[in-house]
Amino acid sequence: MQLTFCCTHTAAEPWLAGLRAALPEAEVSLWAPGAPLADHAIVWAPPQAFIDEQTRLQTLFNIGAGVDGLLKLRLPPGLQVVRLDDAGMAVQMAEYVCHAVIRHFREFEQYDAAQREARWAFRKPRRREDFSVGLLGLGVLGSRAAQALRAFEFPVLGWSRGPKALDGVRCHHGPDGLHDFLAGTQVLVNLLPLTLETENLLNRDTLGRLRPGAHVINVARGAHLVDDDLLALLDRGHLAGATLDVSRTEPLPPEHPFWHHPRVTVTPHTAARTLRDESIAQIAGKLRALQRGEPIAGVVDPQRGY
Ligand code: NAP
Ligand code: GLV
């Protein structure tokens, strides 16, 4: 079995060493233009030239959960795309989301400001039952975040494409379920894949339907959010704050108003990082399952876009 590795913005050597150790039966190499043809590839943001040259590939293993970048390439029909399924990301995402929700709920920004002024100032406790958290997307990451938020007893709502039943979560689905979901949400957490259906979904109309004083946490993709609509709703006071891990252009350009907005927190696309050892173990397990002719999880449906 020939494996090729083509991941931009990733140090290749530790991955190659890990893949060789996990799959001693495979020949693992780093792709360069003109490299011999491989059977399967481990990829992140590969160039179109890689796809065009590697005509024998059966599977692309994406070393991330989101495949929006990969699906923008011209992929031959029949080339299977496999995403990372958790591989240590879900707990990181749950941590990030809980941290952001609790920071807003317990008003830590206000305590930080009070400390800067050496001011010992209590704030009135808020009612947890008023602080409902709505998760857009109840997949691998959204359902784990829902479970973690439930442990803190926040009311949790969710929205998915098809119907879902999750313990303790008020589940909505499809376009018909969106308005009720938004109307019941105090903190909106976006964990949708970026597809033709979900691009620009966080806009003036949808964000305007959140409860007054709502917060927005975008941990999915920058292109889900219409930046100017968010800024207008923050400045008008309808939204109380936003935590943005992702942006339309990454890195977020220095002149972008999000950097200095007093009610926007920016982090550098770090909510749930790819963990090398866990990812290699998962890919090796899936490759062996494929060799045995068994089905694997995480196969992307190119029609749906995730
Ligand atoms: P997933 O398992 O594929 O789950 C996607 C969820 O979104 C599913 O519940 C799906 O509904 C729902 N959905 C998709 N299209 C929809 C639509 N048109 N209307 C309503 N619901 C829709 O994905 P995941 O692993 O949870 O990851 C989600 C995204 O997180 C990734 O695509 C990636 O962009 C982002 N991400 C960000 C970071 C970071 O560090 N910031 C890290 C990893 C991933 P069904 O359940 O009905 O299919
Ligand atoms: C990161 O954003 C991922 O999609 O894994």
Q: Are residues 94 and 239 in the same domain?
A: yes
**CATH (domain of 147):** 3.40.50.720
**Cβ contacts of 112 within 8 Å, gap of 6 or more:** none
- Ligand 2 atom with minimal separation from the 66 CA: 4
Predicted local confidence at residue 234, as pLDDT = 98
Predicted local confidence at residue 117, as pLDDT = 98
Calpha distance 113→23 (Å, rounded): 52
Q: Residue 127's pLDDT band (boundaries 50, 70, 90)?
A: very high
Q: Residue 185's pLDDT band (boundaries 50, 70, 90)?
A: very high
Q: Are residues 220 and 74 in the same domain?
A: no
Q: Are residues 24 and 116 in the same domain?
A: no
* 2 CA from centroid of ligand 1 (Å): 31
* 119 CA from centroid of ligand 2 (Å): 40
- Residues making up the chain, counted from first to last: 306
- Which of 189, 192, 303 to mutate to test ligand 1, by most ligand atoms within 8 A of the CB atom? 192
- Ligand 2 atom with minimal separation from the 62 CA: 5
Tokens of 152: 């803190």
Q: Are residues 183 and 215 in the same domain?
A: yes
Report yes or no on 175 lying in a domain. yes
- Structurally, how many domains does the chain consist of? 2
Q: What is the mean predicted confidence (pLDDT) over 188-203?
A: 98
Q: Are residues 52 and 108 in the same domain?
A: no
Q: What is the pLDDT of residues 138-178, one digit of tens each?
A: 999 999 999 999 999 999 999 999 999 999 999 999 999 99
Q: Residue 72's pLDDT band (boundaries 50, 70, 90)?
A: very high
Q: What is the pLDDT of residues 21-35, one digit of tens each?
A: 999 999 999 999 999
Q: Are residues 160 and 239 in the same domain?
A: yes
Predicted local confidence at residue 85, as pLDDT = 97
Q: Are residues 239 and 97 in the same domain?
A: yes
Are 69 and 81 contacting, i.e. CB atoms less than 8 angstroms apart? no
The set of catalytic residues is 221, 269
The per-residue pLDDT of the chain, averaged, comes to 98
Tokens of 247: 């942006």
- Name the nearest CA neighbour of 64 among 4, 8, 2: 8
Q: Are residues 126 and 81 in the same domain?
A: no
Report yes or no on 42 lying in a domain. yes
Q: What is the pLDDT of residues 239-272, one digit of tens each?
A: 999 999 999 999 999 999 999 999 999 999 999 9
- Ligand 1 atom with minimal separation from the 175 CA: 19
Determine which residue's CA is closest to atom 36 belonging to ligand 1. 220
Pocket of ligand 2 (CB under 6 A): 64-66, 274
* 138 CA from centroid of ligand 1 (Å): 7
Determine which residue's CA is closest to atom 4 belonging to ligand 2. 66
How distant, in Å, are the alpha carbons of 22, 90, 164, 167, 300 from that of 18? 6, 22, 37, 38, 25
Q: Are residues 215 and 285 in the same domain?
A: no
Domain housing 17: 2-87+274-291
Q: Are residues 103 and 242 in the same domain?
A: yes
Q: Residue 66's pLDDT band (boundaries 50, 70, 90)?
A: very high
